[in-house]
Amino acid sequence: MASKIAVIGTGYVGLTTGACLAHMGHDVVCADIDEAKVDALNSGEIPILEDGLENLVVEGRRAGRLRFVVGAANAVGDREFVYLCVPTPQGDDGSADLSYIEAAAREIGPVLAPEAIVINKSTVPVGSTRVVEHALQRGDVSVVSNPEFLREGSAVHDFLNPDRVVIGAVDQAAAIRMAGLYIGLTAPIMVTDPASAETIKYASNAFLATKISFVNAVAAVCEAVGADVNDVVLGMGYDRRIGQEFLKPGPGWGGSCFPKDTVALVHIAEQAGYDFRLLKGVVDVNNEQFERVVRKVVAAVGGDVAGRHIAAWGLTFKARTDDTRMSPAIEVIKRLQALGAEVTAYDPAIRMDIEGITVAPDAITACKGAELLMVLTEWDEFKWVDLDEVGQQMTNRRLVDTRNLLDRSRAQVSGFEYQGIGRS
Ligand code: UGA
């Protein structure tokens, strides 16, 4: 049955949630405080690169099931369900900053429809459901936690084909009403208490980050003992208890979620009296990974990068997104720049210079005059670039492939000194 829904916040989570719920037949109003963004969305412009999202927004608007308005209070008056999808940035002490959530809840409290359900989709510390309840000041309104598990770049796919839907609620009737929104999705719907739902979100991201730090640490061992991490991961992954996913070595993990959520969980645990040393180690290994890549590049050019021209392919924190927040690629480039390197980058999703980094219009141009090429993001198109042509642009054919993306033997045939991650 179609429901009336409001979504507060049109970042990639809010916009994907709104567009997908409209696609599933619900009547959705999305609100944002940014007037220019709302205008753009109302004229069909999508502010982020997200596979399939534009089509759903166009479809929803055409069908009259998706609208955008300025201001949370203007969206909620007749809505049965209100999703909070506002940012929870990292505060100074590592904890999540709840000020946006609280402000949104205070704003909508007086104008919510009777017996509405407010759904927390933002990643929030354990106990935040109560914070929202308190800010709403509405005894008739239930607050439910419904964490998101959407990867940037495949957020639409992940919303419509979830591995699970988690609902954390004290009010069981609200949980059942809420579960009704997801009828049609073939995923287990798990109802639990709010604290467990909130913990599931942090623990999931922290575990995924742990897998990657683990494989990056194994890659370091592989380099030391002469093993090949690609084969090691393949061999491990055949064990169904381990699996192949999220075990790709790289320059370290980044983005708008893992860095803040891992630190936040360490903080949540600390506040509760538990020293989460394992997760602290995961974060440390990640910071070391940036430095390991830098050291690899420095060593490859003979020990000093000052004044040396280096090309970088990839700036976004991973492929298929235009998001550069907490990007490992940018972290590595900045560290090299700090050592005096002159870096020219290319990224299919980035058209202008960014954070003091010169951006070239294409992959070949970025390599002009460079004596080393780094592959930092796993964009497919890098695999198809003609390495002979690349080599002709460069003063030296050296390649540091931090995603093990390119074909090593092909690179060697084109005369490149190839180094990957975890491959001797
Ligand atoms: C992550 C989670 O995967 C989502 O489930 C979650 O909903 C989201 O955070 C969130 O909390 O909002 P996302 O930040 O889009 O999604 O990125 P991921 O695809 O998880 O990748 C994170 C980082 O790990 C990237 O830097 C990526 O390059 C790196 N990574 C990922 C690896 O180095 N190796 C891998 O095998 C996988």
Per-residue pLDDT of 3-35, as tens digits, reads 999 999 999 999 999 999 999 999 999 999 999
- For residue 44, name the pLDDT band (cuts at 50, 70, 90): confident
Per-residue pLDDT of 146-175, as tens digits, reads 999 999 999 999 999 999 999 999 999 999
For residue 149, the ligand 1 atom closest to its alpha carbon is 7
Pocket of ligand 1 (CB under 6 A): 123, 148-152, 205, 208, 212, 246-248, 250, 253-255, 257-258, 317-318, 328
Which residue, chain included where needed, has tokens 């999808």? 85
Q: How far apart are CA 202 and CA 263, in angstroms?
A: 10
Q: What pLDDT shows up at residue 367? A: 98
Ligand 1 mutation pick, 293, 318, 405, max ligand atoms within 8 A of CB: 318
| Nearest CA residue ID for atom 24, ligand 1 | 253
Strand ranges across the sheet with 417-419: 358-359, 342-346, 309-313, 372-375, 398-401, 417-419
| Nearest CA residue ID for atom 16, ligand 1 | 151
Ligand 1 mutation pick, 152, 230, 322, max ligand atoms within 8 A of CB: 152
Buried b or exposed e, range 383-395, using 16+ CB within 10 angstroms: eebebeebbebbe
The pair of structure tokens assigned to 331 is 């972290």
Residues 374/298, Cβ–Cβ less than 8 Å: no
- Read off the pLDDT of each residue in 91-108 and give the average, rounded to a whole number: 91
- Read off the pLDDT of each residue in 363-380 and give the average, rounded to a whole number: 98
Ligand 1 mutation pick, 212, 230, 263, max ligand atoms within 8 A of CB: 212
What spacing in Å lies between the alpha carbon of 151 and ligand 1's midpoint? 6
Per-residue pLDDT of 285-334, as tens digits, reads 999 999 999 999 999 999 999 999 999 999 999 999 999 999 999 999 99
Residues 238/220, Cβ–Cβ less than 8 Å: no
Neighbour tally for 221: CB within 10 Å: 12
| Nearest CA residue ID for atom 20, ligand 1 | 151
What spacing in Å lies between the alpha carbon of 165 and ligand 1's midpoint? 18
Per-residue pLDDT of 113-131, as tens digits, reads 999 999 999 888 888 999 9
Structure pTM?
0.96
- For residue 229, name the pLDDT band (cuts at 50, 70, 90): very high
Q: What pLDDT shows up at residue 96? A: 82
Q: What pLDDT shows up at residue 34? A: 96
In the chain, the amino acid numbered 259 is: P
Residues 205/262, Cβ–Cβ less than 8 Å: yes
Q: What pLDDT shows up at residue 95? A: 82
256-261 long-range contacts (CB < 8 A, ≥24 apart) are 256/152, 256/317, 256/323, 256/325, 256/326, 257/123, 257/205, 258/205, 258/208, 258/209, 259/90, 259/326, 260/88, 260/89, 260/90, 260/96, 260/326, 261/123, 261/201, 261/202, 261/205, 261/206, 261/209
- Read off the pLDDT of each residue in 265-293 and give the average, rounded to a whole number: 97
- For residue 1, name the pLDDT band (cuts at 50, 70, 90): confident
CATH topology of domain 4-190: Rossmann fold (3.40.50)
Q: Which residues are catalytic?
A: 257
Q: Across all residues in the chain, what is the average pLDDT?
A: 96
What spacing in Å lies between the alpha carbon of 152 and ligand 1's midpoint? 8
Residues 186/160, Cβ–Cβ less than 8 Å: no
For residue 147, the ligand 1 atom closest to its alpha carbon is 7
- Tell me the pairing of strands 117-120 and 189-192: unpaired
Q: What pLDDT shows up at residue 233? A: 98
For residue 204, the ligand 1 atom closest to its alpha carbon is 5
For residue 246, the ligand 1 atom closest to its alpha carbon is 36
Q: What pLDDT shows up at residue 210? A: 98
Count the residues in the chain: 424
- Read off the pLDDT of each residue in 366-384 and give the average, rounded to a whole number: 98
Q: In terms of CATH architecture, what is 193-424?
A: 3-Layer(aba) Sandwich (3.40)
Q: Where exactly are the structural domains of the chain?
A: 4-190, 193-424
What spacing in Å lies between the alpha carbon of 254 and ligand 1's midpoint? 7
Q: What pLDDT shows up at residue 205? A: 98
For residue 154, the ligand 1 atom closest to its alpha carbon is 15
What spacing in Å lies between the alpha carbon of 155 and ligand 1's midpoint? 11
Same fold, 4-190 and 193-424: yes
| Nearest CA residue ID for atom 23, ligand 1 | 253
What spacing in Å lies between the alpha carbon of 255 and ligand 1's midpoint? 7
